[in-house]
Structure 1
Amino acid sequence: MLAVSASALALAVLATGCSSNGDSGNASGGKTVITVEGLPATTKPGPRQAFLDDVKRFEAANPTITIKPTDASWDAQSFAAKLAGGSAETVIQVPLTEPQGIIQRGQALDITKQVKQLPEYGKLDQHVLAEEKDTGGKLYGLPVNEYALGLVYSRAVFTKAGLDPDQPPVTWDDVRADAKKIAATGAVGFSIPTTDNFGGWMLTTMAYTRGGRMEAQQGGKWVSSVTNDATTQTLQWLSALRWDDKTTGTTSVITSTDPVQALATGKLGMSIGAPNTYTQFVTTYHGNKDDFGVSAMPQGGGNATLSGGTVAMVTAKATQQQAEAAVKWIDFEYLQPQLDPTVAVAQAKAQSAQEGAVVGLPAVPLFDQASTDQIAAAVKPYATVPVDNFTKYLTDTRKLTYVSEPPVGAQDLYHALDPVVQALLSQKNADLNAKLASAQKTINGTLQRLQP
């Protein structure tokens, strides 16, 4: 739902006229041929050429493999038909919400054997592999990138309020207490977006931190469970901040960019986001880079946070030869830059040569702590971000359970919950239970239509 995932999913599918469908995987000369998604669009000439250069380097190192890249990308309307019809690329990239459905429909290949043959398999963080496994523990995908939501805050506002910016709040009770101190300075203590499905998204991740889940399986199908205790407790907590503490501000219609702008201009203390919020904080709203803070998602007993990102999978039609080639490619293009210091440094140098580039921005680690620390140390001399400001996020988020977005109709679910969040901020005595029940009815109607 973050820009890191939502904007990347909007590109149209390019008809390539070539896929591995019906392909034996062997071109003339005995080469294994695979088609791969991930080629940046022509509107991004720099990244596109860098990707094509990577293809050349990979083929030079693996002369028996031919890579045919496409700039096809995930599209909810057309991609299901591509998979069902067998016209999808050999290596596809899908949002983290999709692997379980793809696995259950038999549209991806079990790549456990190929992945376990990678030298670095033992270093992969098992947190980030959970959503790519079936119930029997077989692996069907590898992460391209992943994010986990946390608390974003203004270090300058914290300091002004007498709070230690190096010790951000770790529970929702802490957030409430700190919000009061921040509000005493004239800034808003805590605020989240409430429109364009962001309100429902924020409510969902906050419910996760209290142990709630927004969908549950019933009779083999997914149904809404938004009326759970964790969601109710979250709404009551937000209502208390709005009406008892008066620390949220008075606006109920809040866009996705409003909190970031307020953080960057010192008008807000805390919101919800991820490390990549930094880019907008600095480049769009010209905030002081040293004022940006991010920590793990505050908890209310659930020990969890919402995660998202992109997963690379091998379609079920691939041959074993293609599967081996595909895993080699995924490892080369997406895993090695996050594991091999030489590769990471080369990438950082190339990025730092671009004017205004954000270099060294931390993300959810895909590998163990030792490997992550090694990469961070190698890249730090080229970083343009204040990497020390991300330490609490990286260390404490690793301790949480990563829970992906609701598996069916997530955006519809968020849309139905937006008015609930807006109501509690605009109506002092809003009947939150009734509004949740109404939203659940709406969501269940949608889920019935989306599932056969």
Structure 2
Amino acid sequence: MKSPRSRRVLVSLAAIGLLAAVPACSGGSGEERSADGKIKVTVNGQPPQTQAFERMIFDQDVAEFEAAHPDIDLEPHEGFMEVESFSAKLAGGQLEDVYYVYFTDPAQIIARRQAADITEAVKELPHVDKLQPQLLDVFRDGSGKLYGLPTANYSMGLVYSRPLFAKAGLDPDNPPRTWAEVRAAADKIAALGNGVVGYADFSKGNQGGWHLTAWLNSLGGQIARKEGDGWKADFNNDLGRTALDHLKQMRWTDDSMGSKQLLQDADVQRMMGSGQLGMYLAAPDNIPTLVKQFNGKYSDYGLAPVPEGKGTLIGGEGYMVNPKASPEKIKAGLTWIQWKYLNPDRFDSFTKRYADANQPVGLPAVPNPDIWTGALRDQQEAVKAKYANVPAQNYATYLNASTTIKGHLEPPSAQQVYATLDTVMQAVLTDPAADPGALLSAAEAKVNATLAQVR
């Protein structure tokens, strides 16, 4: 699923079966060396020309890297994880030596042997052991072998309107930490009238199921659990009913969610950008979207940890290596990944380029993704504070809690699961007589049928 959807859409490859037919031996990425004898490495992740700033940064980095590594010839390709072309590139031997993936896909890629084992090769790279362990685990198999490296991540939190908090007599510096506090705050904000909504949630376009997953995670639950070699639905229980009962109470008892429902991300972002919404679940990258696309102001928004804090839905991106790449190409490819994405020596210069271009600095997102631990995390935070041009203090409670909350990946066949759970969210938010228990039971059967196809 795509983050708030200022992310690129994360359509699970496994969900639409693109990987199943790809032979494990596929791969291969052209010549070993360029005409001048350099080791040739193809990489994707180059932004399109329509994203002028991001493309400029990427191309500048390629040139700087090649100057610093004269024995490596990088061949950048536009694109990320495009479901329409991924399987064909794998089968036809056109997959890049270093390729971009979403967190939803490494498990299936590893199971089908479509990525190189880099366990030994990364031992030569600096700082890998300082990455957050739960992010590295996304790229490990059951025996602990490593097949990729994380370069950015997101986790869900609570985006809220500081002006509306102040108007409602709430403390913008002390945001809700439980769902009961969210409900109470939403009620006070909605009482301001004039069409103001206290809390909004998604229920359409598979985003309702995505957010119900985030609710379950926050309460310590999950949408699906592993059983042996398969998966089973794990939401038709007390935690699932608690989440839906809470939504139902805010919607119908308190009337703090407004009458307009069947919302998607852009609907909710428009409400927040226009100053008509108090709170919604989202990741940090929603805040630039609110400003750039919906006329918001950075000073107006706060970001708190996900309520309850017993778990949070995480996602992100990283890079894996073609299984047919030679040891020399693997080494060169990992050198690129580390130099560009995982390089504390470039914290300052990389961040300064964003600040100089008036790109937002101060969020736990690009150019300072929250992927580090310990001293390196502190080092990056100091650089972020040095160049911050948005009010980083507004996001402090989120950032301080981010490494203490258990992260949950999206479930297998996420899009199909979310489509089923959309109907549950829609019913609760549009029908005052909706029965959460009955809705969850009906959805459980459908989700189990979907999960039975996961291999």
Q: Secondary structure at the match of 2:160?
A: strand
Whether the 8 Å CA contact 2:156–2:314 is kept in 1: the answer is: yes
Q: Distance in 2 between matches of 1:160 and 1:404?
A: 37
Q: Distance in 2 between matches of 1:143 and 1:4?
A: 19
Which of 346, 350, 367 aligns to 1:347? It is 350
Whether the 8 Å CA contact 1:5–1:310 is kept in 2: the answer is: no
* Pair 161,57 (structure 1): closer, same or farther in 2 beyond 3 Å: same
* Pair 442,77 (structure 1): closer, same or farther in 2 beyond 3 Å: farther
Correspondences of 1:394-409 after superposition (within 5 Å):
394-407=399-412, 409=413
Whether the 8 Å CA contact 1:157–1:182 is kept in 2: the answer is: yes
* Pair 218,372 (structure 1): closer, same or farther in 2 beyond 3 Å: closer
TM-score norm. by structure 2 comes to: 0.88
Q: Which residue of 2 aligns with 1:209?
A: 218
Q: Secondary structure at the match of 2:226?
A: strand
Correspondences of 1:307-326 after superposition (within 5 Å):
307-326=314-333
Q: Which residue of 2 aligns with 1:441?
A: 445
Q: Distance in 1 between matches of 2:294 and 2:87?
A: 38
Correspondences of 1:26-45 after superposition (within 5 Å):
26-28=33-35, 30-45=37-52
- 1:368-391 per-residue CA deviation (whole Å, 9 max, x = no partner) reads 243223223224343321111111
AA partner of residue 297 (structure 1): V
Structure 1 stretch 236-245 or stretch 213-222: which is displaced more?
Answer: 213-222
Correspondences of 1:138-157 after superposition (within 5 Å):
138-157=145-164
Cα drift, residue 29 of structure 1: 5.5
Please say if 1:419 is aligned against 2:406: no
Q: Which residue of 2 aligns with 1:249?
A: 258
Q: Distance in 2 between matches of 1:75 and 1:104?
A: 20
Cα drift, residue 410 of structure 1: 0.9
Correspondences of 1:37-436 after superposition (within 5 Å):
37-186=44-193, 187-218=196-227, 220-299=229-308, 303-336=310-343, 339-340=344-345, 343-354=346-357, 357-363=359-365, 364-407=369-412, 409-436=413-440
Cα drift, residue 30 of structure 1: 4.6
Q: Distance in 2 between matches of 1:297 and 1:417?
A: 20
Q: Which residue of 1 aligns with 2:8?
A: 6
- 1:393-438 per-residue CA deviation (whole Å, 9 max, x = no partner) reads 111121111111112x211211221121111111112122232233
Cα drift, residue 212 of structure 1: 2.1
Q: Secondary structure at the match of 1:88?
A: coil
Q: Which residue of 2 aligns with 1:14?
A: none
Q: Secondary structure at the match of 1:257?
A: helix
Q: Distance in 1 between matches of 2:53 and 2:159?
A: 30
Q: Distance in 1 between matches of 2:191 and 2:40?
A: 63
Structure 1 stretch 419-428 or stretch 177-186: which is displaced more?
Answer: 177-186
Cα drift, residue 66 of structure 1: 1.6
Structure 1 stretch 317-326 or stretch 370-379: which is displaced more?
Answer: 370-379
The root-mean-square deviation of aligned C-alpha atoms, in Å, is 2.4
Whether the 8 Å CA contact 1:195–1:256 is kept in 2: the answer is: no
Identity percentage of aligned residues: 38
Q: Secondary structure at the match of 1:38?
A: strand
Q: Distance in 2 between matches of 1:423 and 1:126?
A: 38
Q: Distance in 2 between matches of 1:310 and 1:52?
A: 19
Q: Distance in 2 between matches of 1:31 and 1:134?
A: 33
Q: Distance in 1 between matches of 2:7 and 2:297?
A: 25
AA partner of residue 402 (structure 1): G
Cα drift, residue 27 of structure 1: 4.1
Cα drift, residue 221 of structure 1: 3.1
Cα drift, residue 206 of structure 1: 0.7
- 1:231-265 per-residue CA deviation (whole Å, 9 max, x = no partner) reads 22211111121222222222222221222232233
Whether the 8 Å CA contact 2:29–2:95 is kept in 1: the answer is: no
Q: Distance in 2 between matches of 1:392 and 1:446?
A: 37
Q: Distance in 2 between matches of 1:45 and 1:180?
A: 43
TM-score norm. by structure 1 comes to: 0.89
AA partner of residue 355 (structure 2): S
Q: Secondary structure at the match of 2:316?
A: strand
AA partner of residue 55 (structure 1): V
Q: Distance in 2 between matches of 1:46 and 1:290?
A: 24
AA partner of residue 215 (structure 2): M
Structure 1 stretch 69-78 or stretch 154-163: which is displaced more?
Answer: 69-78
Q: Secondary structure at the match of 1:33?
A: strand
Q: Secondary structure at the match of 2:83?
A: coil
Whether the 8 Å CA contact 1:192–1:272 is kept in 2: the answer is: yes
AA partner of residue 345 (structure 1): D
Cα drift, residue 121 of structure 1: 2.5
Whether the 8 Å CA contact 1:149–1:272 is kept in 2: the answer is: yes
- 1:28-76 per-residue CA deviation (whole Å, 9 max, x = no partner) reads 5553221111111132344323322212211221122221111132122
Whether the 8 Å CA contact 1:212–1:228 is kept in 2: the answer is: no
Cα drift, residue 191 of structure 1: 1.2
Q: Distance in 2 between matches of 1:9 and 1:223?
A: 20
Cα drift, residue 22 of structure 1: 6.2
Q: Distance in 1 between matches of 2:87 and 2:231?
A: 18
- Count of aligned pairs: 435
Whether the 8 Å CA contact 1:212–1:229 is kept in 2: the answer is: no
Q: Which residue of 2 aligns with 1:13?
A: none
Structure 1 stretch 371-380 or stretch 96-105: which is displaced more?
Answer: 371-380
Q: Distance in 2 between matches of 1:154 and 1:381?
A: 25
Q: Secondary structure at the match of 1:295?
A: strand
Q: Distance in 2 between matches of 1:290 and 1:22?
A: 47
Q: Which residue of 2 aligns with 1:16?
A: none
Q: Distance in 2 between matches of 1:280 and 1:78?
A: 28
Q: Secondary structure at the match of 1:294?
A: strand
Structure 1: gaps (5+ residues): 11-18
Whether the 8 Å CA contact 2:151–2:371 is kept in 1: the answer is: no
Q: Distance in 2 between matches of 1:23 and 1:259?
A: 46
